[in-house]
Amino acid sequence: MNDRLRKLGTYPMVALEQHKLEMQTRGVRVFDFGAGDPIEPVAPAIRAALVDAVPTTSPYPRLAGRPDLRAAIAGYFRERFGVGLDAETEILPTMGSTEALFHLPQVLVQVPSEKDLVLYGEPADPVCETGALFAEAWTYPIPLGPENCYCADPETVPEAVLRRAAMVFLNSPHDPTGQVLPDSVFTAWVAAREEYGFTLVCDESQVDLYYGTQRPKSLLQFGRKGCLAVHTLSQRSAMAGYRSGFVAGCADTIAHYRQFRAAMGVTPQDFVQAASVVAWRDGAHVEVRRQLLGKKRELMLGLFKSLGLSVHATDAGMYLWVQVPLGSNGVDHAAHLREHGILVVPGTWFGARQDRYVRVALVPSLADCEAAVKAWPR
């Protein structure tokens, strides 16, 4: 076994499933605020498009994806961000976002070399570290916290680290905190990329889940050369099981990824791509989803306020980053909540310095959120 991977242990979401099974075995009613796994029905038009596209024969999907899907993504990007993308050269459909985030270090980082570092803000989705380790790259977690509003600023990173960087991962809105990167931070990272020559990748999986009037922006509104944006329908359209997303941006980098991607994975099934065309072209179902998530969010924020627990202030994302009571830590607090049927994720699953937090995913139905509020220990 690869020694560099041993220290990772069990993947957090696997451990979460084990906890859930144990709770169900005990006959406990489970309120699952753990994984960001949407339970709301997929919009009827999307489901119908998938069913209508199921073929009588089943050839391999094209590596570049369906032309109509790439055109739909280009249309979405133009309407949502005001950015024109070339559907032929600047868009590559993927099996969701995690696949791309995992693969990109293996494609873009040369080890050994003078540029063998992968940077990411911590707390972070574990895939940032895992993908880098599978590529045998070295990692540099940029510490994030309330003191920097969970925004990774290149000005705080040593110049020697930036010179050695092959890739930098950004995430906006941020998982687990929901923090949206301001224009100044995007601009600073694009300038740093131009100076030091690394690839800049922004995970924008939750960019359409916002609750105020300010819509989160895309990295590609600030730069294109050496820049990639990663999107998915998992949270935006509650299509997590469909495994459909895309990488967009720098044509040269996309071409490099496309060249080697066939050895790593495939494009989504053709019928999933057909459903994805409908999803990217329609914004109405996303607005319905935002309104429902907003109601859950307000309910849970009210609970934590009544308990005197601090929540990182944000107006985006499907997660709440909650500080645990004094005298406890995230692991112990999560275990305490499981005794009451409530499943949350300890902050340490997103980074070693995050032991004072738990992540709460706005996944249960509104009715179950109301029941969980009553079951939450005081």
Q: Which of 28-42, 71-85, 220-234 has the lowest mean pLDDT?
A: 28-42
Give mean pLDDT, residues 297-318. 96
Give mean pLDDT, residues 34-50: 95
Look at residue 89 in the predicted model and tell me its pLDDT.
98
pLDDT band (50, 70, 90) for residue 262? confident
Which of 5-9, 93-97, 121-125, 145-149 is predicted with the least confidence, judged by mean pLDDT?
5-9
Task: Identify the structural domains of the chain with CATH numbers, from first to last.
Answer: 3-41+285-375 (3.90.1150.10), 44-282 (3.40.640.10)
**Cα angle: 38, vertex 311, 350; to 5 degrees:** 60
Supply the pLDDT for residue 370.
Answer: 98
Interval 114-130 mean pLDDT: 96
Q: Facing residues of 91 across strands?
A: 248
CB 118 within 8 A of CB 132: yes
Q: Residue 342 above 90 pLDDT?
A: yes
The answer to whether 252 and 227 are in contact (CB under 8 A) is no
Taking alpha carbons only, the member of 290, 293, 346, 298 closest to residue 323 is 346
pTM of the model: 0.95
Residue 54 has pLDDT above 70, yes or no: yes
Q: Is the pLDDT of residue 4 over 80?
A: no
Structure tokens at 80: 């949502």
What is residue 341's predicted lDDT score, i.e. its pLDDT? Answer: 95
d(CA 28, CA 35): 18
Q: How far apart are CA 66 and CA 43, in angstroms?
A: 21
State how far the Cα of 38 lies from the Cα of 280, in Å rounded to an integer.
18
The fraction of the chain above a pLDDT of 90, given in percent, is 87
| Average pLDDT value for residue range 206-216 | 95
- Is it the case that residue 10 has pLDDT exceeding 80? no
Could you tell me the sign of the dihedral formed by the alpha carbons of 170, 73, 89, 133, in that order?
Answer: positive
Tell me what the mean pLDDT of segment 310-319 comes to.
94
Find out whether 117 and 137 touch, Cβ atoms under 8 Å.
yes
CB of 298 within 8 A of CB of 366? no
Highest mean pLDDT among 13-17, 35-39, 124-128: 124-128
pLDDT at 58: 87
Mean pLDDT within 134-144: 96
Read off the DSSP letter of residue 57: S
Per-residue model confidence (pLDDT) at position 17 = 86
pLDDT at 5: 66
Three-class secondary structure of residue 210 per DSSP: strand
Could you tell me the pLDDT band of residue 85, with boundaries at 50, 70 and 90? very high
Residue 109: band (very low, low, confident or very high) from pLDDT cuts 50, 70, 90 = very high
| pLDDT, mean of residues 312-336 | 95
| pLDDT surpassing 70 at residue 9 | no
**pLDDT in the model for residue 3:** 72
Average pLDDT of every residue of the chain = 95
For residue 153, pLDDT over 80 is answered with: yes
Nearest Cα neighbor of 303 from 340, 351, 350 is 340
pLDDT of residue 1: 66
pLDDT digits (tens, 9 = 90+) for 11-22: 777 888 888 889
Can you tell me the distance from the alpha carbon of 66 to that of 69, in angstroms, rounded to the nearest whole number? Answer: 5
